Each structure stands twice: as structure tokens, then as C-alpha cells.
Structure 1
Amino acid sequence: MIKLLIAGIWVCVVTLGAVYFSVDMATAPEKPADDANRPALELVRGETLTIPVFSSDGVKGYFLGRISFQMDKAKMAGQDLPMKELMTDELFTLLVGNKMVDLSNTSAFDLQGFRDHLKTDLNARLGQPLIQEVLVEQLDYLSKEDIAANSEAGQERKPPLKIAEGVTIDGAQSSGH
């Protein structure tokens, strides 16, 4: 009789231990403290932009770019921002006005500096730090001569000069910004 009672108590202890550990393992781990302080971000996809590069002779070539942003979702609530226009103006200023890209030496292009400069300037124009991260999907240069050569029938198409290797962003376009 004692053996039966000890066996029953043993089965209860093992069952309770198994249930406790399975529930403990099934619960989600706590988020690290630094993730709790990070704002919720929303992807604002940029449109493909073609920015002309001028010289004294006229149009010299074109920058082809697509840049998207990770923006603070809470701060964006209720704001209708003209992101396309702001981004186009800022890119025109950086690429053509400031000449951040030296076309004779594209390997010296500082992609992180370009992202930081774009983020800082756009946040200053918006009046608050809405943009958390700048994602460069494409940044290429196509000269006027390359465009003419590509438009001729029977010619082998020349690819644009890749200035920065971009990130690939999958998924649908984000809501209306």
C-alpha cells in the first residue's frame, strides 16, 4: 500500500514538473529593454526619381534613384507630408547642388554619409525627427551618351553606372505617404 502511495505521489510530481516547464517554455520571452524604447516604425516607400545633371552644354546625364524611409509611426499620425516633393528637392540639392557624388571616382562615394546627411536635412525641414532610417534601394548614373547609345536599334544596351548598391525592400507599398 505504501509503494502504491509513493508511486502516485511520484507521478503527480513528474506531471506537475512537466506542465510547469512546458508552460514556461511556451511563453514569449521578454523584449529587451532597448527594443521597448524604440519607436514603432513605418516604411514609406519612395518613388523612382530621375534627376538631371547639368553642365554648361546642357544636360550631361541623369541620376536614377529610389530611396525609402523608416519613419516614426506615432509622430506621423495625422500628418500629411509631401514626402515625394521633399525627397526630390533634397536629393537634387545633394546630388547636383552639393555634388556629393564624384562621377570620375564613384568608389569613393560615402553611402552612410549620404544617408546621414539626407536624414539630418529632411528631419530639419520637417521640424521634428520623423525619419529614423534612410534606405537606398537604387542610386545609378546614366550619361547622355549612354542613353543615346541605348536608344539606337541593334546596339548592345549599356547598363547605368552603379553608384551605390541598394537594399531590396519587399512587400506592398505603405499607406498614402
Structure 2
Amino acid sequence: MKLLLAGLWVVVVALGAAYGVALYLPGATDPAKAATVPVVLQTQKTRVINVPLVTGGALRGYVAAQFVYTQDGNLAKTLQVQPDVFLLDEAFRALYSDTSFDPDHVERYDLKKLTAALVKSTNDRLGVPLIKDVLIENFSYIDKDANKGG
């Protein structure tokens, strides 16, 4: 009989301790607070891409670009592929097909529009809002005739 009462006493103490801890921990009683995980931002640097600039059917030069992006670190852990692959693909497509790029006036190119489009298109392809911001690390235009000289 003593063994049965001792076992019952251990169960009651264990349940009471679990209930007490649940009440004591901040946010443990509010499932909405307990479910929110703070966003951890991480920065990643891409490799340099070279995009050919073709105007009027002729090669004019190349745009060399490198980006830095911030991502949700918690969300990044759930992906099986690196997002920079998609980011670079979107950047290549955007720069290659952009008819507003003027190699004679590179300083007038709308980089804000480019980076905003890269965030949106990359997140759309990934299916999750992973990329928070895209920054320009390097953006250069290289004329195809720059190395030719006499």
C-alpha cells in the first residue's frame, strides 16, 4: 500500500511542477506569444555575374554586377536550395532584357528599381518571403572595345 501511495505522490508532484512552470514562464500561457519567433536577418554575398549588353543586334559590352542580400535566417534553414542561385538568375534576366540601360550614362540607371524588382521576383520564385533587401556590392559597365587599343 505504501508503494502505491508513493507512486501516486510522485505523479501528483510531477504534474504540479509542470503546471507551475507553465504558469511561471513568460509567454507560456499565451500561445500567440509563444508561437512568434523573432526574425534573424543574415547577409550573404553573391558571386560576380557578367551580363552581355546587346543593342541593335550588336554586342556593346558587359555589365559586371555583384549583390549582397539580407534574408530571414529562420526561413533560410527550411530551404533545400541556396537563394543566391535564383537571385543571380533574376538579376541576369532583368539586366539582359532591360532596354532602359544606357551604356553612355550608367550613372542614370535606376538601381532602386532593379533591387526592388530582384527582391520581389526572387521571393516569388522561392514561394516564401525570404529575401528582405538586395544591396549593390559592385555594378560596372565594361565596353567591349575597352581592352583594344593602339
Task: Give the TM interval when normalised to the shorter protein.
Answer: 0.5 to 0.7
Instruction: Say whether the 8 Å CA contact 1:94–1:100 is kept in structure 2.
Output: no
Structure 2: which 5+ runs fail to align? 1-35
Partners of 1:115 and 1:97 in 2: CA distance = 15
Which residue matches 2:33? Answer: none
The DSSP-based 3-state class of the residue aligned with 2:92 is: helix
TM-score, structure 2 as length reference:
0.66
Shift of 1:43: 1.2
Which residue matches 1:28? Answer: none
**Which residue identity lines up with residue 90 of structure 1 in the other structure?**
E
Instruction: Say whether the 8 Å CA contact 2:68–2:135 is kept in structure 1.
Output: yes
Shift of 1:116: 0.8
Q: Deviations over 1:15-35 (max 9, x none)?
A: xxxxxxxxxxxxxxxxxxxxx
**Which residue identity lines up with residue 119 of structure 1 in the other structure?**
V
Structure 1: which 5+ runs fail to align? 1-35, 153-177
Shift of 1:56: 4.7
Partners of 1:119 and 1:74 in 2: CA distance = 18
**Root mean square deviation, CA, Å:** 2.3
Shift of 1:72: 0.3
**Which residue identity lines up with residue 115 of structure 2 in the other structure?**
R
Which residue matches 2:123? Answer: 123
**Which residue identity lines up with residue 81 of structure 2 in the other structure?**
L
Which residue matches 2:79? Answer: 79
Shift of 1:70: 0.4
- Gap change, CA 1:100 and 1:44, over 3 Å in 2: farther
**Which residue identity lines up with residue 62 of structure 2 in the other structure?**
Y
The DSSP-based 3-state class of the residue aligned with 1:68 is: strand
Instruction: Say whether the 8 Å CA contact 2:50–2:62 is kept in structure 1.
Output: yes
Partners of 1:111 and 1:57 in 2: CA distance = 25
Shift of 1:148: 2.5
Shift of 1:108: 2.2
Partners of 2:100 and 2:81 in 1: CA distance = 26
- Gap change, CA 1:80 and 1:37, over 3 Å in 2: closer
Shift of 1:132: 0.6
Shift of 1:38: 6.3
Instruction: Say whether the 8 Å CA contact 1:68–1:134 is kept in structure 2.
Output: yes
Q: How many residues align?
A: 115
Shift of 1:58: 4.2
Partners of 2:82 and 2:71 in 1: CA distance = 14
For 1:12-161, what aligned pairs fall within 5 Å after superposition? 39-56=39-56, 58-149=58-149
**Which residue identity lines up with residue 126 of structure 2 in the other structure?**
L
